[in-house]
Amino acid sequence: MKLNEHFSDLQDSYLFSTIAHKVAAYQQEHPEKEIIRLGIGDVTLPLCDAVVQAMHRAVDEMGRKESFHGYGPEQGYDFVKEALQGYYAKRGVVLDLQEIFVSDGAKSDVGNILDLFSSENTVLIPDPVYPVYVDTNLMAGRKIVYLDANEQNGFLPLPDPSIKADIIYLCSPNNPTGAVYSRDQLKAWVDYARECGAVILFDAAYEAFLSDPALPRSIFEIEGAKECAIEFCSLSKTAGFTGTRCGYTVVPLALEQEGVSLNKLWLRRQTTKFNGVPYIVQRGAEAVFTEQGQRQIHKAIDYYRENARMIAGALREMGIWFTGGENSPYIWLKCPGGLSSWEYFDRLLTEANVVGTPGAGFGKNGEGFFRLTAFGDRDSTAEAVSRLKKLSLSN
């Protein structure tokens, strides 16, 4: 039997394990120091009450013969799809129920969607980037072209007409940079994709953090996007579902290539290789979109937003350049004093006892930058901010 040779093209990521080792070593030497972690990309607030109650009811249903649920539709129950249809309608995006696929998360779908495409395609990926886009394509042996995101373009690169791409990854609000595309910028991407017959894989996992109504929450708010884009979203950050697992993917019926419907291909892929999301979790997801659920999850989102505002405010005071911090739970800052990502990491750890994520871990353009997140505890975040301010680093 022959193995997939492309696995050898993958690089092992030591980013988070290196961070863990450095933190553990420092803590061992200085057991008295209280270290604050602003590096995590995971939520910390619990599931809201509406979700908890819905899941209790669903567990009870599963325990009684007359209300038990066995196999459900692979693409999700209509009650979740209708809730999502309503959610999109609020921002003027009209979706057919068939266009919505409920899944166990954006990470799975962003990887699995590649089953639909030939390995011959050229993939355009911004750098810095969420590593899953890169690794899933390397595994399949696809050619990757990187697109420079940097201080000059505000980490929001626009299409380069001289580059021919087939599959384009966009994430807005962005992980790791927190930068957000405007409507006009996304329109430029949609026009470019249609021009070169490419598909845009749009990761909207952080859309719930947008507070500026002028910014697009879905690529389908842009004219022409239904002919060229697939959108991935998730309840992970929206409703604290990182350990509960529910996302959704929108594959428009209008998205075709040489008469073949990508919606039909994805349905075939999912019915063949996936068995749907647990009934209990789908009832929890449905509850997120009730009036009560929306009120409750927005309390949590506002909590994280306030953390982001505090961090952004401190950086502004200190004259440090950054993206994100509003409309995003991420803050992407330029390391002060001309430090490299890892130098700044070490200084922050040893002098302020604050842990963040070195930007270099997200690609070559991340060197010299650093990611902080707003998912921490309020008091710890406030304390971290005051320590950051005291840290004397020349800019």
Q: Which residues are annotated as a binding site?
A: 14, 41, 71, 106-107, 130, 175, 206, 234-236, 245, 275, 371
Is 80 within 8 Å of 293 (Cβ atoms)? no
Using CB under 8 A, which residues numbered 57 to 116 contact its own copies?
Answer: 59-60, 62-65, 68-72, 104-105, 107-108, 111-112, 115-116
> Helices 291-317 & 49-62, crossing angle to 10 degrees?
140
HSE-CB at 162 with a 13 A cutoff on CA atoms is: 1
Shortest distance (Å) from residue 179 CB to its own copies: 24
Binding of residue 386 to its own copies (CB under 8 A): no
Binding residue positions for pyridoxal 5'-phosphate = 71, 106-107, 130, 175, 206, 234-236, 245, 275
Using CB under 8 A, which residues numbered 168 to 197 contact its own copies?
Answer: 197
Binding of residue 214 to its own copies (CB under 8 A): no
Is 95 within 8 Å of 225 (Cβ atoms)? no
- CA pair distance 252, 263, nearest whole angstrom: 6
Shortest distance (Å) from residue 214 CB to its own copies: 31
**Pair of tokens at residue 174:** 């962005």
- Sequence length of the chain is 395
For 152, residues 6+ apart whose C-beta sits below 8 A from its C-beta are none
Binding of residue 47 to its own copies (CB under 8 A): yes
Using CB under 8 A, which residues numbered 107 to 166 contact its own copies?
Answer: 107-108, 111-112, 115-118, 120-121, 132, 135-136, 139, 166
Binding of residue 11 to its own copies (CB under 8 A): no
Q: Looking at 17, 257, 350, 395, which residue binds its own copies (CB under 8 A)?
A: 257
Q: Looking at 83, 102, 156, 277, which residue binds its own copies (CB under 8 A)?
A: 277
Is 242 within 8 Å of 261 (Cβ atoms)? no
Shortest distance (Å) from residue 256 CB to its own copies: 10
Using DSSP's 3-state secondary structure scheme, residue 386 falls into helix
The burial class, CB within 10 Å (0-12 / 13-18 / 19+), for 383 is middle
Is 383 within 8 Å of 377 (Cβ atoms)? no
Binding of residue 20 to its own copies (CB under 8 A): no
For its own copies, which stretch binds (CB under 8 A), given 82-90, 144-152, 262-270, 349-357?
262-270
For its own copies, which stretch binds (CB under 8 A), given 43-51, 286-294, 332-340, 361-369?
43-51
Q: Looking at 38, 156, 198, 385, which residue binds its own copies (CB under 8 A)?
A: 198
Give the full edge-to-edge strand order of the sheet including 330-334: 322-324, 330-334, 369-373, 357-358
Question: How big is the site for its own copies, counted in residues (CB under 8 A)?
Answer: 72
What are the two backbone dihedrals, phi and then psi, of residue 144, each rounded to the nearest 5 degrees? -110, 130
Residue 171 is which amino acid?
A: C
Q: Looking at 260, 295, 299, 338, which residue binds its own copies (CB under 8 A)?
A: 260
